[in-house]
Structure 1
Amino acid sequence: MGTLLNKFLAIIAELESYELDSSEDSSLFSVKYSVPLSIIRIISQRFDEVFSNLDVSFELLYERRMDFSAFKQNDRFLNTDLPLDLKLTINKDVKLCLPENTFVFLKTEYFFKHFNALNSELFQRINIEKEIVVHLPIQKPYSNSYLKLFPIGLNPITPAEKLTEKTREEFDLVKKIHDEVTRGGDRHPLPDYYKIEGLTDSFKSWFDQNLFHASLLYIANKVSEGRKFLIRGHKNIEISLSQELIIQNAPAIFNIYRFCYEEKHYNDKIEIARNIFTIYLNSTDSTAKIDELLPKIEKTISNHFSAYIQDSIKKFFNDRKDVVKEAHKFGTDLKAESDKLLTYINTSLLGIITALFSGSLGLSKGERWYLIVALTLHALLFIFSYLFNRSYVEKRKNEITRLYEKYTSKFVVLAEDDLEEIKSIYIEPAVENVNSYLRLYKHVIFGLIAFMILLIAVGFGLPESLFTTSNTKTNNVNAVTNNVYDNKP
């Protein structure tokens, strides 16, 4: 494919002085000549293989249109001193076997036309995971992280490499921000494509103009069908484009774009930038006016954002103080629930005394079932009080933590790390304290129930004599009393 390209370059170099017209896009290149028959015969003989293999389309107008095969058959019958129209066409994609994201432009003006920042159609067909490689008529190579320009015919046509991981991350971030701030608008070529150092003359002018347009595309809200930039800010403005303008301050607008599309505060930065642009400009202004005011606009955006950050820092500390205060309050509420659990535990432990007292009363009365029923009722009381108290404390704990999360969600100035730090100091220890008391309460209740079950089992296992003796004594006392009353005169 390199040999074919060099041969075709040699053909058009020999016919350069006879050229009438040409056209070129990313795939096809066509050129028309008005050339003497003698020159056509020389070219056809020298590059017979190129034309015979249909690597380059050959079309000659002599009374009728003839392809290369017809020309060879009829060459001996042709005789004229007038120049003839000759058209040569090459399918660059097919005949040069161009890899993905690799382009060849035989004329610089067509590269300028198709790689224009406003030609989003071309860039929508590009694989964004790879760099772009272009071979065109330049004296030396140029490159940046996204684009490589090579002198045509001097470098072999090789596949475009994948973007570096860092470059791809930058691209993904810009795309994410752009989709968000333009609500999924059209994808335009990155301004970074046009930021190349060391350019001179017309090349530099063209790249500066496209760097300007591409940066403005990413700052503006959208571009209208009439290719007007719409910016909504302090007021709405529409700026008409000027393709002939020689841009003087392209680095300034590129700096604004890079500043706006940094990961931190990008929404605020873009909003500030749009407001500043609309303050400085009117809808009747042109891109020339923007270029003139760019140094002032860049400085004003920087100053306004610095002031915004200072206000944000002040608000940050005020908000942080409020959050700490509320976190302490919520932590105190959680501690109150821990204190309630400690009270419930102490009350449950005191319940052992009443259980033992009830059991002793049952023994003293000589009633086994009194003992069993008393212990069973205490066991049930422990269970039901535990279930109720645990449910109440869990509900309160969840309610307090939910209210804290809802409260802190309002403080967008505070970073997530700050909120987490405050939470870890005041809320999480209090929650863990409640949880530990709930576990202790559970263990105490389960221990008491086990103890009650043990006492009930012991009650069932006590000898009958403990209860019958008591009953006999009672009966004897009753008998003696009855005899006393019966023996009275």
Structure 2
Amino acid sequence: MDSLEICSIEKFINKYSEYYCSETSNTITFEEVIEVRGIDESIINHVPKSEDINISFFDMQNDEKFLGIDSAEKLREVNGNSYSRNSTQVRIITEVNKKIFLSQLPYVNKYIYFKLDYFIKQYSRLKWIDTDYKMFVFIIDDTNVNFQTDFLCVQSLKKDLGTESDRITEYAKGRYTSFNNIYSSIYDDKKLMSYFEFPLAWLPICESESNEVLNNEMLIYFFNIICNKKLDNSKFLIRGHKAITVNLNVRQVSYIEAICIKELFEFVLDIDKHHDKLSLLRNTMTIFLDSQSDEANFFDKSNEILKAVKYNFDLYIQDKVKLFFDQKNKLLQEFILTTKKIEDLTNGLISQMKTIALSLLGSIFLSLLNDLNKVSTHALLNLVLLSYIFFFLFNMIIVFNQKEQKDSLTESLKNYTSSLGVVGGSQNNSLSYETLKDEYLQKSLNLFDSYRKWTLIGLTVLLFMFLSLYVANRFGTLTIFKDAIKFIIDY
């Protein structure tokens, strides 16, 4: 694209700005109403020749387009020599394609607007081609505009292009992503659709790169996020200690006021405590603001609101900390109590093993094996063996069910841990059930499992041995254990 052609088009646009009509993201439209006989004085006689400029003629009476006429010369030709006497009014539309300017700009996300007001009206329809890069918007008609944020750059087309990076910082992107995750997870029907809806996208980097008209967009999106309900494009309902309505009129927002909005928004930009902080902010605002408020009332009270929410949140945290430690102490006591119960179960297993061992130390075999051929001795021995078999079987059932008792204790403790709101919701892993279990309970559980395993093994061996002795003594088969005992005691 010839730079001379671009300069001539820009010069034409600025010189005849009074004929500016409207624009879209792609075109700038100029409108002129003139009689045919005045075509020699029309602005289209000064339009540079370019494929990016389109001229159309319309009849003012019926608004029909003149087909085949796209220049002053062709209008003269159609009317012949009589054109100088023709009083018919025509509407001339001159459209300038913005791509002639955009093609010369090095940025990924770039737009041009003749007037700043039209950008403000239309920016919500603009697309971010690559969300890793800032959006650059160049204004033709305003030589003073200079607005820089972490996401946007709005400046005069005549201003020299900056040398700073056009990439959005990871920190800025991270804040947008974090808040969007919070926003969409709490509210099913809400999600930021683009950077434009993020209040901090409109926060100027410094006062010298601030624009009071554009700063106002930050105020709108701030209320759009914190309100309970959006009643209109600029009217918001907030519920707290009372219900208030805030009606935002179009106004200019100073850099200092923008910083205050930023601090209030950053207060609720908290992954862990967003809901609590948002509720606190709403309650505080309903205390300080009138039932029918506007932006003037808000900014008049904004510093007091900011101080109040920070102070009240500190008190809220102190109450949370106190509750946290109370519940932590209760939880630790519960773990200690459960540990004692597990130890009691283990001691019970040890007592059972002692009882079984002592019951076998009697002189039953010595007195009964004296004469095995006597009928009464055989019957009594069988009775004793059967008694031991049932005794061991009963103890096996008890020991086996003690696992259910242990599992019930640990499950109850786990449920108790989960039921503690502050501790259960804490990000501190040292207070999780698994961590406390490893620290206070696991050794006792391992000891119990070890004793239980060996008790079951011992009872199984004894049960099998006494069952074999009973079968050998009663039916004369499986005599291996009976013969072994006779050999051991030298019978």
TM-score by length of 2: 0.74
Out of 334, 343, 359, the position equivalent to 2:342 is: 334
Rounded to whole Å, the distance in 2 between the matches of 1:107 and 1:9 is 18
Rounded to whole Å, the distance in 2 between the matches of 1:169 and 1:244 is 30
Q: How does 1:397-408 map to 2 (within 5 A)?
A: 397-408=406-417
Out of 378, 400, 413, the position equivalent to 1:390 is: 400
SS at match of 1:406: helix
Partner residue in 1 for 2:248: 241
Confirm whether residue 430 of structure 1 aligns to residue 432 of structure 2.
no
Shift of 1:372: 8.2
Confirm whether residue 228 of structure 1 aligns to residue 225 of structure 2.
no
Cα pair 1:242 1:287 within 8 Å, conserved:
yes
Out of 149, 163, 173, the position equivalent to 2:178 is: 173
CA 1:395–1:302: 2 relative to 1, 3 Å: same
Rounded to whole Å, the distance in 2 between the matches of 1:339 and 1:444 is 12
- Letter paired with 1:224: L
Rounded to whole Å, the distance in 2 between the matches of 1:261 and 1:271 is 13
Residue deviations 1:396-450, cap 9 Å, x none?
2232223323333343233252663687456764354234323332234324533
Partner residue in 2 for 1:461: 480
Q: Which moved more, 1:340-349 or 1:417-426?
A: 417-426
Out of 55, 74, 86, the position equivalent to 2:92 is: 86
Q: Which moved more, 1:254-263 or 1:343-352?
A: 343-352
Cα pair 2:213 2:251 within 8 Å, conserved:
no
Cα pair 1:351 1:378 within 8 Å, conserved:
no
Q: Which moved more, 1:87-96 or 1:280-289?
A: 87-96
Q: How does 1:146-165 map to 2 (within 5 A)?
A: 146-149=151-154, 151-152=156-157, 165=170
Partner residue in 1 for 2:219: 212
SS at match of 2:428: helix
Shift of 1:114: 2.5
Consecutive unaligned residues in structure 1, runs of 5 or more? 468-489
Rounded to whole Å, the distance in 2 between the matches of 1:341 and 1:400 is 17
Residue deviations 1:27-56, cap 9 Å, x none?
443232468546666556x424x1xxxx44
Residue deviations 1:171-216, cap 9 Å, x none?
2321233345555336470111101224559x61113222222222
CA 1:416–1:343: 2 relative to 1, 3 Å: farther
- Letter paired with 1:215: F
Shift of 1:233: 0.7
Q: How does 1:241-280 map to 2 (within 5 A)?
A: 241-247=248-254, 249-280=257-288
Rounded to whole Å, the distance in 2 between the matches of 1:324 and 1:6 is 81
Residue deviations 1:292-325, cap 9 Å, x none?
1111111111111122222222232333233323
Count of residues in Structure 1 that have an aligned counterpart in Structure 2: 447
Partner residue in 2 for 1:60: 57
- Percent identical among aligned pairs is 18
Partner residue in 1 for 2:489: none
Rounded to whole Å, the distance in 1 between the matches of 2:188 and 2:236 is 16
Cα pair 2:45 2:72 within 8 Å, conserved:
no
Rounded to whole Å, the distance in 1 between the matches of 2:368 and 2:3 is 114
Rounded to whole Å, the distance in 2 between the matches of 1:196 and 1:126 is 19
- Letter paired with 1:266: H
Q: How does 1:302-313 map to 2 (within 5 A)?
A: 302-313=310-321
Rounded to whole Å, the distance in 1 between the matches of 2:186 and 2:411 is 32
Confirm whether residue 315 of structure 1 aligns to residue 334 of structure 2.
no
TM-score by length of 1: 0.74
Q: Which moved more, 1:308-317 or 1:361-370?
A: 361-370
Partner residue in 2 for 1:109: 117
Instruction: Point out which structure has higher relative CO (alpha carbons under 8 A, 6+ apart).
Output: 1
Residue deviations 1:75-103, cap 9 Å, x none?
56265499974323356589968998543
